[in-house]
Structure 1
Amino acid sequence: MVSDGPGRSLAFTYTSGRISQVTVKAAGGSVLATHRYGYDGNGHLTSYQSPLGVAGQHGAVTYAYYTAADGQNLAHALKTYTLPEGEGMRFAYYLDGRVFRHQRHKHGTLLPETTTFRYQDFRRETVTVNERGYERRHTFDANGNPVRIVDETGAAYTYAYDAANPFNRLSETDPAGLTTHYQYDGVGNVTRITQPSGATTEYADFTAYHAPQRIKDAQGNWTLLKYDAKGNLTDAVRLKTGQVPTAGVTPPASAIASWTKYADDGNFGQPTQTKALRDFTGASLGSFAGGVGPTLTTSYDAQTLYPTQLSRLGDKTGDGLINGSDPADTASLAFDGLGRPTQGIDADWHPVQVAYDADGRVIQGTDAIGQLRTYRHDGDGRLIDAELKLTQAGKTRLWDSATQVYDDAGRLAQTLDAGGYATLYRYDAAGHLTQVTDPDAYSLSFDYDPVGRWVRAYDKAEHAVRRTLDAAGRVKTVTDPNGHATTYTYWNAAGDGRLKQVTRPKVGSFTAGRITQFDYDALGRVIRLTEQPAAGSGETARDTLRTYDALGRLVREAGPAYTDSDPNSATFGQTIRPVTRWVYDNLSHLKEIKAGQTAANGGSSIDPETGASASDTVTTQATYTVDDFGRRLTETDAKGHTTAYTYDLHGNVLTRQTPNGHTVTYVWATGHQLLSATAEDGRQVLYTRNPLGQVIRAETWSAVPSQLEVAYDYTYDAAHRLDQLTDSRGVKTLSYAWSPGGLLDSLTDSDGGATHTLYDPVGRLIGLWAPNFDTFGLAYDAGGRLTELRYPNGVTETLAWNADDSLSRISHKNGVATLVQSAYTYDGLGRRKTLQETVSGLPTLTYTYQYDPLDRLTQVDNGTASQKQTYAYDIFGNRVQQQLGNPVSQTTAYQYDPAQQLTEVRNGSLTGTLLEAYLYDANGQLSQACKGSGVTRPNDQTCAGTSVTQYAWTSFDRLGQISGSTSASFRYDDQGRRIRKTEGGVTTNYLYDGLNLYGEYPAGNWTTPTALYVQAGLDTPLARLTGPVGSPSAAAAYYHPDGLGSVLALTNASATVTGTQRFDAFGTKLAGSGTVPQYGYTGWEPDATGLIYYRARYYDPSVGRFTARDPIGYLDGLNRYRCETWSE
């Protein structure tokens, strides 16, 4: 018997001198697990029974052997093993006893999966022939080291070793000819690794435990490590660029980039504390006490064997201190008698539980939203099903399930989802996945090269994506189903073989496609990204430059060089670059974003740690305070307005306080499930969720006095897909039917209107039947690009595409008569260069576009000199000047504040007559626009003019009301969708299908819809139905868009054009006839106020800007008001 510190024991039972049973017992003597072993008369192990096998719940693992009768050298050689479910392996040998073949079997029946081996002793070569018949050759030296490996394609990897120390590898060369070298000290420690480029990683000052105290990376940055007398790590210090540490010596704080401290129990080396230093003051190597930063503490049981508690302590308020205002977070941990964790936390500190069967397999565990799921395994330990069952009000219900079935070789062959729908998997003999078939019988198949890398992926219609690879396995070309190839090339040894260029398919008359080139530093980070225009385009290449600090954080990015077109800039007419700099704290949390301009060369004397350059002129765009756990506490804009946040233990936002005085409080369930959001004025959204986390009811309440504005009730089918949606306002329902694989088959509303869909053999929408029985047909090319849309009225939309997937032409024709057509050409950088636009009843115009190197639209020319438009921008992308005509007949100047908010529009220049003035609230939302005559703006709080429009925003930062010459009010649901609009005293209610508009209803009348909309996908309107919308007598109006999605024309059932509209590049309507309801520029919803509803916010085409900041922050750029160039 063997006992450990906690009192557990192993008891051994012997039969004929061999261990036949091992019993694991708890401290009190109770049996925790029993393992049994069987032998034959020769002492060979013939069976093993796991604890569940002992209990009779599954079979044993069995073994069979050859005997001397099978050959002189085969006695005692393993012949087969068989797992409890019958899968196993059979082994065959040469007469000298070396393995000849491995072959899978199922219950003794041999399967075709066979691997064979050949040996060439003279050359010390072993040849492996895989299950597909391809050979891999291994050549060894006299010490058994591989010196050459030739893979199944003939590509060779070679290795060299030190003659004096034959197990020290000196070099390895891959099939691309790239060689990596290794150097060692006298005791075998690796001291230098040299990349093919010559860049080196160095290790120095090894301890008695062969641990390096100093490491220099390939970029020349050092890491200093400190250990205690037992060899346990106590400190990891990363130095700033250019700083060289001395082993065992604490560097000055000014030289340190980051510092992490470690402590252990002092006896067994169990880690007890980790501290990441935010403040290096007082810190010294080898002492955990110094320095300030978040600390994670681990407590153990009496034997210091298993952790029992985790505790984290750090600054939660952002004041830089850790005191009573920052209580520690603690979590309890537990283990069972066999040392398996049964209670703990996930990465977000949510509690989790785990239970095991006797074989140690998880049979119950906490899922992502806190529910306990149960799991079953087969005798081989493979998961066969997972279920979520809950008992509520005395009734047990199965909420979710997933089942897995395996083939004879033990590979996953089938999965069944909760609805019972099957996905099938097929493999080749080598176990490569060759086909996946979904529940709708749509399949995706794969072909592989001899090494097992996929080279062809294709659907049921043989639409294939093909790859070619070089000898090192790097992708050379990817050819799409239309036969268009994207090419990849790589740097030679000087660039360590990294990706160098990506060349897209050529377009039009260009002789080659666009090229993107990547230049790297020694650590593989992109430091220059160059876009080379298509050959023959006459465009100029442009590059973006990046700088990283010693920790690998991006600290600087300088965009493409361009000629400053801002007439108010001190560098007007000079070549400059936009530059952005990021500032971090010692815990790598973002603290500040700075932006502005730098010199044409990207900046001189750049500080490698901060990214600062004397060539820069930058201003702060945003500052942040962050707690020690990475949670953003405040965000302050360029005008000093601060948004503040608080959090719960799990990182969920508890409160958000905006600078304009609104506070929203949030309540969450486990797994980051939002339950409610409540503003200080009583405005509220509430969610009820099922055990899967799906919303089953969502309520939106107005501000005090609170009134329910809308509630949605949701039901789901067995496969967890939306089954029915009910809108409380008119008790209107939308019911959904799905294919087994999850494609929408039909959508039926409570008024009897139904939309049905049809798909081709590869799952693409090819037919749509509208509620009025209209039929739309769709067709695609091999690559899945839409090529044709057939309308019920006989109009056909045809789309032509370039090889790089850019749209060449979209036309709408009634027979041979063109109703609408947009034909595009592109410049060498992929931007739309010309647009020939035909709109029925309007003159055909050809627009020519020009851009600066930052992709900002600088000129639009439609062939009429007096209508030529030119634009100039500041470094932040704000339009600062617009000129009309050639020669210029009108100049408009624009003024912005430090937060990129448009404040003034003037005639001629910034000293000209004030034409328009704008005010914003502290949250950056447009609050007032003053236009007309006599416009004044004495300060940021006041403006006047003969036309004043005021904008009121809700406590959820949504535009609620517009007051002025045109007034409007809006309501929104929990998803931010606009559900009600009142304009000119007319109120319209909206019903949604997901994010798509489905129906319109007049105020006070939810009986009959004013209109229903037919959509072919997200934001793809096809038709508007009015009258008896669910019958063939409905009046249908069909939408005809351009390549941006802008609706240019409307036709009726007889294909007569009933409305047209034409827009400029920024969305201002230039001309048109009739009425085009609901959809306009880029397919979004124009209002009578002049704004366009873009779901998340509103856009003002007159100035080309949004009325509020982008809610996703700076992900799309530093200017959160700017509209993209819609001509692209």
Structure 2
Amino acid sequence: MRRQLTAVTRTGETLTVTGPTGAQVQSTYDDLDRQTTQTRVERYPVNRNLVTKLGYDDAANLTSITSPTGAVTSNTYNSVGDLIRTTAPNGAVTHFGYDYFGRKVRVSDGLGRTTRASYDLFGNLTSDANLNADGDVLRTQRYGYDEAGNMVSSKDPYNVVTTYEYDTANRLVRQIEPVTDTESITTSFGYDAAGNRTRYTDGRGNATIYTFNTLGLPESAIEPATSSHPTTPDRTWTVGYDAEGRATRISAPGETSRQRTYDAAGRLTAETGSGGESTTAARSLGYDKAGRLTSVSAPTGTNTYTYNDRGAVLSTSGPSGAATFGYDDDGQMTTRTDVTGTATFGYVKGRLTSLTDSITEQRQNLTYDAAGEVKTIDYGAGRIRTFGYDDLGRVNSDTLKNAANAVVASVAYGFDLNGHLTSKDTTGTAGAGNNTYTYDKAGRLTGWTSPAGTITYAWDASGNRIRAGSKTATYDARNRLLTDSDYTYTYSPRGTLRSRTSSGLSEQYAFDAFDRLTTAITQTYQYDGLDRVVSRTGTTFTYAGLGDDVVADGVEYFARGPADELLATGQGSDEQLSLTDAHGDVVAAFDPASTSLTTLNDSTSYDPFGKKITSIGDTGNLGFQGDWTDPQTGQVDMGARWYDPGTGAFTSRDSVDYTSGDSILANRYAYAAGAPLDFDDPDGHWPKWLKRAARSVSNGYHAATNFVSSTASWAWNYGTRLWNQGISALRSFGQMLYNGATRLYNKAKTAVENTYRHIKQGVTNLRTNATNWAKEQARAAAQRIYEAKKAVTNAAKAAVRQAIKFTKLPVVAALTKPLLAGVKLVSGGIKVMASVVAVTQQAIRDPDKFRQKLFLEAAQRLAPLVEGANEMWDKATQFVEDHAAEIAGIAVACGALAGAVGSAVTGYMNGKRGWDLAGETALGGLFGAAGGAAGAVGGAALGAGLRALGGGMRAAGGKAVSAGLGEARTIGRGLMGRSGGCLGPGNSFTGDTKVLMADGSHKPIRYVKLGDRVLATDPTTGRTAPRVVTALIVGSGTKQLVDITVTVDGPRGSGRAETITATAGHPFWIADQHQWREAKDLKPGYTFETADHRPAAVAATHHRTQPEVVHNLTVDTLHTYYVVAGTTPVLVHNCGTSYTHVALGLRAHGLRESAEANGHTHFLDDTLEDALANVRDVANSHPGATIHVRMDGFKMSNGRASASPAELFEDAYREGGGDNWFTTQREMNILGRSVRLGNREWESIRFTMDGKSVNFPRPGFLGG
């Protein structure tokens, strides 16, 4: 049994965590309970304590992380706590920018290259743009949405539009991808009543059918009929499960099957197979108590693995190869010893700076540019390789020079705006010359022009390559190649290549039940339990670690780096340093002893699909994308499958299912999505867009430097693909992944762990070379998860749409589980009563804080890949935001789904949706129960609704009603003219002044109605959300007016000028001063806060006095709204409640009684978020109000028994700056910050204890 032991402090902070193997992590904290150190006690190979130090600012923002080796990452934040700059240990700086919703919209690297995102008012991403260091836009990808938030169009930088269509349940049913001006690919999708996708029809009209069992698990996949396999059994895959939902039996056409066995922890321990053309060796796996793979079967024995306490492999032994690894205190590999010898790696400030390979023992020194990319590689003796980059961060030049500064070899790359490689000009290598490439609008390669001439490529609507120069090809309905002008091909029922025939000569192929190639013409192969080739026709292959990159093939040795990248090769006495291009192809090698190096004696060139076309000398058996290539068959071992460069396709069917994205990804045989120069396929399962950053010698280079260059934003652009691969593979029919036992899993796990480390450290350096293709896949992946949600009733679906449309993050979908554990959400089977549906309408709000919280907390906790991602998404989407009910002609935002009673004003309901409510709960009852405003609607309906809940549900419903009372009272006061006072009708606007509504429309203020929703922002926190208008104020008579001329494109007179007319006392938020200024005090150059993020500034003001009818609003909670200058919304304060005396303190220590006895306002009846919003409003926007802090019950967070009032306040202030739910401490932090910002005088805050005044001087940490 695996156990984890945790020791905690008196305040609940974790002191030590001891894992199931005895590995221990220790933590220490400062007086404010902020973690200051984390010590990992490592026992293997030697005992050592690895200490990471954490530093903070006064607002509890993490400002520094010092690694065990002393490498320091520093972070800088803005006034609302957003990370705006991170500096890596090596000095590389990344800048971040945010919109007023708190979304990260700009990321710039150390060279000023920037990625910019834009959103609409509903949180939908509308465009991605890349900018150069001068701020010029280089390219933009745009997205369009329908009213339900479904992405309906994606427009690339060339204005090519891919469109998407949906059914009434918002499920994708059709996708249309342009190919030419007159041709397009249309694919379609079908679903069952539960929302499972049951049909995919490709561009040629061939349909694949899917079925699901009663638990919603995939049960069968039925591919189209073909002339060679027309019967259903010859084209059907089925999956059987045990009681835990684990795939135990997988049957494939042709009577082939696999049986799986799991241990009590759900880990695959054994797998056997039957059928196929050759005998299938059984697979067995063993694990330690921490779930790490410790043993794997091989044909002649067992491979074993050991680990250090950080989970890194220390040693491997067995038939597949022996190796040992060493690491520095930061976990970076410093040595690796395998059959080739010992390699060493050096680091400076966390960055790889030197490599010495295990064959030539030649040291390579690396330097970097300001963005953290490799700039040079020095091979010694004056031999230097230099990389250049374009404005999107892609390598556009790669030059090797000798000591005489003469060019030995070079390559220059050119790209189009979609990131496709359009030119490659090479010198000094085989086949040198200029190469150009063309593509269709679907991104598939259509032409290659080289010094030898032009070859044209053509594709069908299923993504099959039907022409390559003069050769044409045909395919069946299952995308299996039948003829290609050279051969005719036959296949097994399960889709593995069986034979190819030319001029009457037939060559045979065979696969085992695991779909591993065992015979290819004259060659035979055997595999270990990790599906790695360990024997080729009797010759042994050797590996190091868990990776599938070979280090010896019985003829040649391959020296590799810390991420398995190729460094050098050796065969007998011939030792060579290897060179790869941007695709990872091994293109050249040179003798390390050749210090003059005038030419490269060994080089190779390839066609776009990897077929060797010219060679000088011998570069060895590693070729296309750096993978091992059989010299007899020409096929490339890509891990899960073998690839044939001659056909440009794989020889067996991919077991990973298509989920979303370009339709060519549904083709189970196509390589690299039809763009072989832009993608590689690192595992044989899924294409990966090339980052095209500098490679020291292989496509694995950047993994070696992932301490710096792997980034949090990579999780968006590249991690999205890994999540999709992981989830798809976990749910697939033919390749159910098991923990630690496949290359795909390990690579995904490694990438996610690296991403997590950098999220935690703040090293979030977004790569501006992220492609439009990858971004589109991320959008499509989110849409797929959205479509897969469980069906609820039609009325409930309508209510859910607005909530789910804002959240487009696949990462969130996969990581929701740990956040929602223990929270019971609305089930899909609930029936919404007609009486409730009839009075419910949607109220749109932006739940961006919810989305960010999910993403950030999930990333910090970093749950592993979870099979239940869709299920988690189903539940998350049922968090309902605001819904409005028309009761007695008044819009009351009460929050309703499935008859739920409660208030959604607090944002995402603070997780209180932990109960299922059914029955005739009347929203009107909530309003009536508030008393006063519309009592006639009455408590009867509310009572009936609560009675319908029954038992424990009634109690939960009662709490929700209490949460909603404050909202109802506020609106009631507005109705009855008892709003508690306001800033007065003198602070108003003329009637034609337009107001920004919550749905993005503009409405003259005189037409705004009670209960309408406007967009509101708390500028001190950045919190933005739709809010209810709770009172209308109209004034008339002689008014002091100010005509404010606003420039909407820039400050001080530049740009278009618009005019707003306000009364002299109306407050405007001045963004650059971070404070409210009345209209009469505005001066040219003052910059406004705007909702659409366009610059807007005061150009001029004109004061006048005249009779006028003016209008103002009271806005719930946030007390702000936007008035519109031309088309630009400008933030102003509302006519909110006028406060004179406000009481704060602890509920349990008499705050209510004291406040009511003294006539002071309190916020005890408000929800947490509403109370905090009101405190912010009072503290920052009502400087004349006196705030009374009742300190009874205040305690020091460190447990110290006695403390002065000043010490108690400081402790609460600092405690309130952290990420916690301590309401009173957060209130003290708000008060202190309002004083620091100059929005309130310290003397306006009064402190009492035991009924006596305990005032103290302004603390020094508040400045002034």
Provide TM-score, normalisation by structure 1: 0.55
Per-residue CA deviations over 1:411-433 (Å, capped at 9, x if unaligned) read 12222335242222221111111
Equivalent position SS for 2:243: coil
The 2-side partners of 1:994 and 1:1051 are apart by: 29
1:835 to partner: Cα distance = 1.1
Letter of the 1:1015 partner, please give it.
R
1:561 to partner: Cα distance = 4.7
1:1021 matches 2:592: no
Letter of the 1:827 partner, please give it.
D
Structure-1 residue corresponding to 2:580: 1041
Structure 1: give runs of 5+ residues left out of the alignment. 1-369, 390-397, 533-539, 564-574, 598-617, 701-707, 884-890, 907-914, 934-944, 1003-1009, 1028-1033
Residues 1:951 and 1:520: Cα distance change in structure 2 (over 3 Å): same
Residues 1:709 and 1:628: Cα distance change in structure 2 (over 3 Å): same
Equivalent position SS for 1:1082: helix
Equivalent position SS for 2:37: strand
Letter of the 2:500 partner, please give it.
A
Per-residue CA deviations over 1:375-416 (Å, capped at 9, x if unaligned) read 222111222222245xxxxxxxx5233322211101122223
Letter of the 1:619 partner, please give it.
N
Structure-1 residue corresponding to 2:447: 859
Per-residue CA deviations over 1:550-593 (Å, capped at 9, x if unaligned) read 44433322223525xxxxxxxxxxx2321222222222222121
Structure-2 residue corresponding to 1:131: none
What are the within-5 Å matches in structure 2 for residues 1082-1097 of structure 1? 1082-1087=625-630, 1088-1097=632-641
Residues 1:848 and 1:554: Cα distance change in structure 2 (over 3 Å): same
Letter of the 1:459 partner, please give it.
A
Contact persistence 2:140–2:156 (CA under 8 A): yes
Structure-2 residue corresponding to 1:413: 36
Q: Write 1 or 2 for the structure with the bigger share of helix.
A: 2
Structure-1 residue corresponding to 2:462: 876
Equivalent position SS for 1:990: coil
Structure-1 residue corresponding to 2:1187: none
Which of 593, 602, 609 is equivalent to 2:200? 593
The 2-side partners of 1:819 and 1:959 are apart by: 40
Structure-2 residue corresponding to 1:1079: 622
Structure-2 residue corresponding to 1:153: none
What are the within-5 Å matches in structure 2 for residues 931-942 of structure 1? 931=502, 933=503
1:744 matches 2:744: no
Residues 1:418 and 1:594: Cα distance change in structure 2 (over 3 Å): farther
Equivalent position SS for 1:417: strand
What are the within-5 Å matches in structure 2 for residues 642-657 of structure 1? 642-657=236-251
Equivalent position SS for 2:625: helix
Contact persistence 1:404–1:416 (CA under 8 A): yes
Contact persistence 2:541–2:550 (CA under 8 A): no
RMSD over aligned Cα atoms: 2.5
Letter of the 2:676 partner, please give it.
W
Question: Which structure would you say has the larger RCO, counting Cα contacts within 8 Å and 6 or more residues apart?
Answer: 2
What are the within-5 Å matches in structure 2 for residues 452-531 of structure 1? 452-491=81-120, 496=122, 498-506=124-132, 512-531=137-156
Residues 1:760 and 1:642: Cα distance change in structure 2 (over 3 Å): same
Residues 1:484 and 1:429: Cα distance change in structure 2 (over 3 Å): same
1:928 matches 2:499: yes
Letter of the 2:580 partner, please give it.
P
The 2-side partners of 1:749 and 1:1122 are apart by: 35
Q: Percent identity?
A: 23
Structure-1 residue corresponding to 2:5: 374
Equivalent position SS for 1:764: strand
1:768 to partner: Cα distance = 3.0
Equivalent position SS for 2:551: strand
Letter of the 1:1109 partner, please give it.
R
Which of 645, 649, 666 is equivalent to 1:1118? 666
Letter of the 2:213 partner, please give it.
D
Which of 285, 307, 323 is equivalent to 1:716? 307
Which of 311, 327, 345 is equivalent to 1:757? 345
What are the within-5 Å matches in structure 2 for residues 273-672 of structure 1? 371-388=2-19, 399-419=22-42, 420-491=49-120, 496=122, 498-506=124-132, 512-532=137-157, 540-563=158-181, 575-596=182-203, 618-620=205-207, 622-639=208-225, 640=232, 641-672=235-266
The 2-side partners of 1:503 and 1:733 are apart by: 48
Structure-1 residue corresponding to 2:943: none
Letter of the 1:855 partner, please give it.
G
Residues 1:1040 and 1:903: Cα distance change in structure 2 (over 3 Å): same
Q: Write 1 or 2 for the structure with the bigger share of strand.
A: 1
Structure-1 residue corresponding to 2:473: 894
1:921 to partner: Cα distance = 0.9
Letter of the 1:380 partner, please give it.
T
1:958 matches 2:523: no
Residues 1:578 and 1:443: Cα distance change in structure 2 (over 3 Å): farther
Letter of the 2:335 partner, please give it.
S
Letter of the 1:882 partner, please give it.
A
Structure-2 residue corresponding to 1:91: none
1:457 to partner: Cα distance = 1.3
1:1096 to partner: Cα distance = 1.8
What are the within-5 Å matches in structure 2 for residues 73-92 of structure 1? none
Residues 1:652 and 1:1023: Cα distance change in structure 2 (over 3 Å): same
Residues 1:1117 and 1:676: Cα distance change in structure 2 (over 3 Å): same
1:507 to partner: Cα distance = 11
The 1-side partners of 2:301 and 2:454 are apart by: 48
Equivalent position SS for 2:10: coil
Structure-1 residue corresponding to 2:544: 992
Letter of the 2:294 partner, please give it.
I
Equivalent position SS for 1:466: strand
The 2-side partners of 1:399 and 1:796 are apart by: 47
Residues 1:577 and 1:954: Cα distance change in structure 2 (over 3 Å): same
The 1-side partners of 2:492 and 2:395 are apart by: 41
Structure-2 residue corresponding to 1:733: 322
Structure-2 residue corresponding to 1:175: none
1:772 to partner: Cα distance = 4.7
The 2-side partners of 1:832 and 1:918 are apart by: 32
Letter of the 1:1094 partner, please give it.
M
1:1108 to partner: Cα distance = 1.3
1:710 to partner: Cα distance = 4.2
Contact persistence 1:623–1:635 (CA under 8 A): yes
Equivalent position SS for 1:1117: helix
Letter of the 1:559 partner, please give it.
E
Which of 653, 664, 670 is equivalent to 1:1109? 653
Equivalent position SS for 2:32: coil
Letter of the 2:640 partner, please give it.
A
1:511 to partner: Cα distance = 6.7
Provide TM-score, normalisation by structure 2: 0.49
The 2-side partners of 1:659 and 1:969 are apart by: 24
Letter of the 2:319 partner, please give it.
S
Contact persistence 1:587–1:628 (CA under 8 A): no
Contact persistence 2:368–2:376 (CA under 8 A): yes
Contact persistence 2:611–2:645 (CA under 8 A): yes
Residues 1:542 and 1:849: Cα distance change in structure 2 (over 3 Å): same
The 2-side partners of 1:548 and 1:507 are apart by: 40
1:823 matches 2:412: yes
Contact persistence 1:399–1:692 (CA under 8 A): no
1:771 to partner: Cα distance = 5.0
Letter of the 2:13 partner, please give it.
R
Contact persistence 2:548–2:639 (CA under 8 A): no
1:817 to partner: Cα distance = 3.9
Contact persistence 1:710–1:973 (CA under 8 A): no
Letter of the 2:216 partner, please give it.
G
Structure-2 residue corresponding to 1:911: none
Equivalent position SS for 2:350: coil
- Higher Cα radius of gyration: 1
